[in-house]
């Protein structure tokens, strides 16, 4: 399969800078607020992951789940998004975002948008996610809502 995506902005992907409130003790950043988020996107769980320098997670996509990522550091990430939703106004668009320590960002990724991120810094990188669906459902009794596109043969979803 050849690269069929064009550069652009993906419909319904939200990228918002996060403010770090800095004082003599360090900093504090709000990650989400129920008064700023659509009810349907309200997180039902949260997790944090560490990714080593030069390493990527994804590409993945979800059928029903919206991801709510926060990149606040340590380290910086290159985030790759591909709109594979045939009914989307931005179907076929690829978007890249740089986020993390030097650009704290909140990123909402809707279902059907294939996504991956790579740690492009020199230290272990932390990513926070607060999705609107439970991983593996109530009591972890359901299939995981995740389509993985990590095989090298998936040339549409290359991480450069």
Ligand X SMILES: Cc1cn([C@H]2C[C@H](O)[C@@H](COP(=O)(O)OP(=O)(O)O[C@H]3O[C@@H](C)C(=O)[C@@H](O)[C@H]3O)O2)c(=O)[nH]c1=O
Q: Which residues bind ligand X (CB under 6 A)?
A: 47, 49, 57-58, 60, 67, 115-116, 129, 135, 146
Name the residue with tokens 């003790």. Answer: 25
Q: How far apart are CA 55 and CA 62, in angstroms?
A: 21
The least distance separating ligand X from the CB of residue 47, rounded to whole angstroms, comes to 5
Which residues touch 117 (CB under 8 Å, ≥6 apart)? 51, 56, 57, 58, 69, 71, 77, 78, 79, 80, 99, 127
> From the CB of residue 4, how many other CB atoms can be counted at a distance below 10 Å?
10
Minimum CB separation of residue 24 from ligand X in Å reads 35
Least spacing, CB of residue 49 vs ligand X, in Å: 5
As measured in angstroms, the least distance from the Cβ of 140 to ligand X is: 8
Decide whether 22 or 46 has the Cβ nearer to ligand X. Answer: 46
Which lies closer to ligand X via its Cβ, residue 147 or residue 155? 147
Q: Which is nearer to ligand X, 123 or 146 (CB)?
A: 146
Place of tokens 């999705």: 131
Nearer to ligand X, 19 or 124 (CB): 124
């Amino acid at each position: 399969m050849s690269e069929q995506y064009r550069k652009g902005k993906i419909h319904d992907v939200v990228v918002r800078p996060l403010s770090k409130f800095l004082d003599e003790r360090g900093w504090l950043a709000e990650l989400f607020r129920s008064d700023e988020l659509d009810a349907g996107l309200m997180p039902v769980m949260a997790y944090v992951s560490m990714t080593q320098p030069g390493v990527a997670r994804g590409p993945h996509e979800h059928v029903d789940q919206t991801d709510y990522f926060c990149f606040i550091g340590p380290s910086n990430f290159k985030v790759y998004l591909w709109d594979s939703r045939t009914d989307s106004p931005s179907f076929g668009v690829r978007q890249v975002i740089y986020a993390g320590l030097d650009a704290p960002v909140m990123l909402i990724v809707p279902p059907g948008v294939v996504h991956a991120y790579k740690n492009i810094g020199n230290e272990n990188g932390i990513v926070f996610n607060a999705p609107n669906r439970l991983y593996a459902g109530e009591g972890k009794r359901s299939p995981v809502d995740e389509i993985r596109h990590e095989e090298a043969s998936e040339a549409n979803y290359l991480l450069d």
